[in-house]
């Protein structure tokens, strides 16, 4: 799986988590669920964003390294 | 007053747990995969590329030498006339450029190999917060959900209508009658010597660790049957020597699930559990009948408890060692730490 595929999969996984959480919230609506959302669910997205930023950087670097160190004039 | 838990089924907790586990699995795969890519590029730069370009530089040096030799060969062949070596010189130029590019690539590899190690570290740093979520926070959240599910299961079980019917067989009826007779006899004995009967309830309290595990969800609405002291009794109780300061609203009380729906309960104040995040008052509320069958323990705050049964406030003021028994709003006894009944003799003056 390339970093770009991993990025797409990670975004999908986060979306699926949010959808399932929203569904759960419609059956669980009290202070405990609000606390759980704030302390657990909402903490995940910024961490995923940070990882995605790293995935993007690493994708760019891998392209650069392959370009600079690969052999583009084989005979 | 604490808000009641609004959750329709334990399945909701299970669904959230499954959603977190699925996310953790997929996100873990993504991290592992990109990390493996980073590692592969590192190996490519440190092992494969240096060898490749070393070989390629040698090969291209040989090609330059061969192109030079071809020019010399043509010049010798044409001697003493000038030779036409335009094509050979173009070929030589091309081989020299290829050699230059290979040398340049060799330099690039030398530059990138250590730099890639740094980039790998930066990459890991960027993914560390997500790794923390996957390996620490989600497992903790799962444990938290498991605890909630366990408590809710117990709560729903206690809320379910009793299934042990006394109708059916004669033996069952006899058992019920026998139990009723036994209960009457115990109550008579209790009236005569409250300390003898109720004092033994002290043995039926949960272990200290169970008395401080505060549940994650709010105190559900209790079906409190034991009532609370009448205004006269509250007045009398508040004048007793055992009565001290009111615990803070955020300190905790351990309540047996069964006690939340029984009409005959005891409240005992044990030594506080100290340590960790404990805010224990030392209070435990349990059922008088079959006190050994606790049905799980719910730890709630004083505020949550009084939010539902305000009249218990006067009892919570009693000092460590006190044991009080409450039956449908009637204070049956208050025992001091030595199991002396101080309610019938020194309290209201009325033996209930």
Please say if the pLDDT value at position B210 is more than 80: no
Judge contact between B253 and B283, C-beta under 8 A. Answer: yes
Residues 36-75, chain A, touching B (beta carbon < 8 A): 36, 40, 43-44, 46-48, 50-51, 53-55, 57-58, 61-62, 65, 68-69, 71, 73, 75
Q: Which of A21, A44, A54 sits opposite B127 (nearest CB)?
A: A54
As beta bridge partners, residue B284 has B254, B268
The SS3 of residue B94 is helix
Please say if the pLDDT value at position B271 is more than 60: yes
Task: Quote the CA–CA distance of B40 and B30 in Å, as a whole number.
Answer: 15
Please say if the pLDDT value at position B162 is more than 90: no
Please say if the pLDDT value at position B321 is more than 50: yes
With a pLDDT cut of 70, the percent of chain B lying above it is 82
Could you tell me the sign of the dihedral formed by the alpha carbons of B50, B55, B56, B61, in that order?
Answer: positive
Please say if the pLDDT value at position B163 is more than 60: no
Residue B345 is encoded by which pair of tokens?
A: 């003799």
* pLDDT tens-digit map of A34-56: 999 999 999 999 999 999 999 99
Q: Which of B26, B123, B138 sits opposite A54 (nearest CB)?
A: B123
**Average pLDDT of the segment spanning B132-149:** 92
Task: Quote the CA–CA distance of B323 and B10 in Å, as a whole number.
Answer: 35
Task: Quote the CA–CA distance of B232 and A32 in Å, as a whole number.
Answer: 38
Residue B3: band (very low, low, confident or very high) from pLDDT cuts 50, 70, 90: very low
Question: Can you give the pLDDT at residue B177?
Answer: 34
Question: Can you give the pLDDT at residue B22?
Answer: 95
8 Å CB contact of B31 and A51: yes
Name chain A contacts of B132, Cβ cutoff 8 Å: 47
Task: Quote the CA–CA distance of B265 and B291 in Å, as a whole number.
Answer: 9
Name chain A contacts of B48, Cβ cutoff 8 Å: none
Residue B180: band (very low, low, confident or very high) from pLDDT cuts 50, 70, 90: very low
Judge contact between B329 and B227, C-beta under 8 A. Answer: yes
- Give the nearest chain B residue to A63 (CA atoms): B41
Residue B15 is encoded by which pair of tokens?
A: 């669904």
Least confident of B172-186, B259-273, B330-344: B172-186
Residue B215: band (very low, low, confident or very high) from pLDDT cuts 50, 70, 90: low
How confident is the prediction for chain B on average, in pLDDT? 83
* pLDDT tens-digit map of B227-269: 999 998 999 999 898 888 899 998 989 888 888 888 899 999 9
**Average pLDDT of the segment spanning B162-191:** 40
Residue B212 vs residue B72, higher pLDDT: B72
The SS3 of residue B326 is strand
Q: For the whole prediction, is pTM greater than 0.80?
A: no
Residue A67: band (very low, low, confident or very high) from pLDDT cuts 50, 70, 90: very high
Please say if the pLDDT value at position A10 is more than 90: yes
Task: Quote the CA–CA distance of B349 and B133 in Å, as a whole number.
Answer: 61
Residue B251 vs residue B152, higher pLDDT: B251
8 Å CB contact of A24 and B16: yes
Please say if the pLDDT value at position A19 is more than 80: yes
- Give the nearest chain B residue to A24 (CA atoms): B12
**Average pLDDT of the segment spanning B71-96:** 94
Question: Can you give the pLDDT at residue B315?
Answer: 93
**Average pLDDT of the segment spanning B11-37:** 94
Q: Is the peptide bond before B239 cis (omega within 30 degrees of 0)?
A: no
8 Å CB contact of B30 and A6: yes
8 Å CB contact of B133 and A43: yes
- The answer, for A29 touching chain B at a CB cutoff of 8 Å, is yes
User: For B284, which DSSP code?
Assistant: E
8 Å CB contact of A71 and B141: no
8 Å CB contact of A71 and B105: yes
Question: Can you give the pLDDT at residue B218?
Answer: 65
Please say if the pLDDT value at position B146 is more than 50: yes
């Amino acid at each position: 799986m390339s970093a770009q595929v991993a990025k797409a999969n990670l975004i999908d996984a986060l979306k699926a988590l949010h959808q399932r959480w929203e569904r759960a919230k419609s059956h669980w609506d009290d202070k405990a669920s609000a606390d759980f959302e704030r302390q657990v669910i909402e903490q995940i997205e910024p961490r995923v964003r940070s990882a995605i930023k790293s995935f993007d950087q690493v994708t760019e670097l891998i392209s650069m390294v392959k370009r600079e160190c690969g052999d583009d004039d084989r005979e | 007053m604490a808000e009641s838990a609004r959750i329709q089924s334990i399945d909701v907790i299970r669904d959230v747990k499954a959603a977190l586990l699925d996310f953790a699995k997929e996100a873990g795969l993504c991290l592992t995969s990109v990390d493996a890519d980073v590692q592969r590029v590192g190996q490519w730069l440190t092992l494969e590329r240096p060898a490749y370009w070393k070989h390629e530089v040698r090969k291209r040096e040989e090609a330059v030498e061969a192109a030079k030799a071809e020019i010399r060969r043509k010049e010798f062949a044409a001697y003493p006339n000038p030779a036409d070596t335009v094509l050979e010189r173009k070929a030589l130029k091309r081989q020299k450029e290829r050699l230059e590019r290979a040398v340049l690539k060799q330099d690039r590899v030398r530059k990138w190999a250590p730099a890639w190690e740094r980039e790998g570290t930066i990459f890991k740093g960027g993914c560390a917060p997500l790794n923390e979520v996957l390996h620490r926070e989600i497992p903790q959240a799962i444990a938290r959900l498991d605890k909630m599910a366990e408590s809710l299961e117990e709560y729903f079980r206690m809320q379910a209508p009793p299934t042990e019917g006394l109708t059916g067989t004669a033996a069952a009826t006899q058992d019920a009658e026998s139990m009723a007779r036994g209960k009457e006899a115990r109550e008579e004995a209790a009236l005569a010597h409250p300390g003898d009967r109720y004092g033994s309830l002290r043995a039926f309290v949960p272990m200290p660790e169970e008395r401080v595990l505060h549940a994650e969800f709010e105190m559900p609405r209790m079906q409190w049957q034991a009532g609370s002291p009448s205004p006269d009794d509250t007045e009398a109780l508040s004048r007793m020597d055992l009565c001290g300061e009111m615990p803070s609203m955020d300190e905790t009380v351990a309540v047996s699930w069964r006690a939340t729906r029984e009409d005959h309960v005891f409240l005992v104040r044990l030594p506080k559990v100290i340590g960790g995040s404990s805010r224990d008052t030392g209070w435990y509320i349990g059922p008088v009948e079959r006190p050994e069958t606790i049905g799980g323990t719910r730890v709630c705050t004083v505020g949550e408890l009084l939010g539902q049964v305000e009249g218990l406030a006067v009892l919570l003021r009693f000092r460590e060692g006190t044991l009080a028994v409450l039956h449908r709003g009637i204070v049956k006894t208050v025992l001091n730490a030595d199991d002396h009944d101080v309610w019938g003799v020194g309290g209201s003056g009325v033996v209930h």
